[in-house]
Amino acid sequence: MRTKGELEDQISRALTQWEKEYLGRGPLSVKTDILRNMVIVQLRGILTPAEKVLCETKEGMLSIKRIRADLIESGSEQLKQMIYTLTGKQVTSMHTDISTKTGERMIVFLLQEPIDIQG
């Protein structure tokens, strides 16, 4: 039986690998927290140097947010399947946003039911 920390680590590593394979580069760091029926993932260092420059204008920032949201949405079924495979729980919804100021992305997976796992 896995501990909560072990499962959180497995999710972080799987998401990092997905980012590298699907988006072409991975985040600098990933932290996952499981809380009741939520899997909360914080990815840091996801913007490329060119994206950081684009984010200096409002139009560029909105463009980056839109493109990054579209990219994640296009891979959302893979992400939901990955979470199901690791947790054994069905994902009912996925929510994500990116901060163009800090270069962080938050992803929240809401599961059909809480994960029963030891701390």
pLDDT tens, 84-110?
Answer: 999 999 999 999 999 999 999 999 999
- pLDDT in the model for residue 119: 62
Does 112 fall in a domain? no
Does 108 fall in a domain? no
Count up the domains in the chain and report the number.
1
Does 111 fall in a domain? no
pLDDT tens, 39-74?
Answer: 999 999 999 999 999 999 999 999 999 999 999 999
Q: Any idea what the Cα angle at residue 114 is, between residues 108 and 117, rounded to 5°?
A: 105
pTM of the shown model: 0.92
Q: Are strands 104-111 and 29-35 parallel, antiparallel or unpaired?
A: unpaired
Cβ atoms of residues 15 and 43 within 8 Å: yes
Domain span at residue 74?
4-90
Does 96 fall in a domain? no
Does 105 fall in a domain? no
